[in-house]
Amino acid sequence: MTRRILVINPNNNAAVSEGIRRAAAQVICADTELTVANPLHGPLSIESLEDRAQAIPPLLAMVDSYIGQGFDACVLGCYDDIALDEIRRRLKIPVVGAFEASIAAARTVSARFCVVTTVHSALPTITALLHTYGAQHIASVLAAGIGVADAAAGGEAASHKLNQTIQAAIAQQGADAIVLGSGGLIGRAPALAKAFNLPVIDAVLCAITQAEGLAKLHKQT
């Protein structure tokens, strides 16, 4: 039974969407049909409250264009739950947020984990969400100091900063697992897990695989 999943990248960076598409192809089932979409307008990356405010109107307009299109589940491929509740109200299908999915996954493999994100301006939102999901006592958060677009583009400088931040999470925060807290970091988990010899959780891929299971249940009911 084919499952149709919509993955929403809320910024208008097509490179991030393509990264999600490529990484997801490595983990989804053969009978899962994935559509990855991003708004044509709005910020290239969501790194501040101003970016967030600018991103929401085109994001919701895009969501509205997919209402009634036969999707069985949806993934919000962004780590700060931007407009998540509103998207759920509009689509009326299971909508999985990357943050919530990654926290659930991290709890199954670690006693203490660290969310490693891109920009420092994301720290207050992620810290607040850790409290929302009741993970503040077992989790910390660090920023690598790289932009979302730079993270998606890769490159030696971005990789070096990311590696340094993971090292700090292990040495200073006592993390025994890492959550990659940005859509711009998708696809990096396998290599990082091998390099640091600990679980590294790709938040967006967690959400996509969770959405697959929910889509199956949704079609049955």
Contact 92, 116 (CB under 8 A): no
* pLDDT for position 106: 97
The whole-number pLDDT of residue 221 equals 66
Contacts of 53 (CB under 8 A, 6+ apart): none
- Its CATH class, for the domain covering 99-202, is alpha beta
Average pLDDT by stretches of 10, the chain with 221 residues: 92 91 93 94 88 94 96 94 95 96 96 95 94 96 89 85 96 96 91 96 96 84 66
pLDDT of residue 148: 81
The pLDDT, as a whole number, for residue 151 is 82
pLDDT at site 73? 96
d(CA 215, CA 156): 38
Cβ contacts of 212 within 8 Å, gap of 6 or more: 3, 5, 28, 29, 32, 73
Q: How is domain 3-98+205-220 classified at the CATH fold level?
A: Rossmann fold (3.40.50)
Residue 155 has what pLDDT?
Answer: 81
First-residue to last-residue Cα distance in the chain? 13
Give the global pTM: 0.92
Domain with CATH 3.40.50.12500 in the chain: 3-98+205-220, 99-202
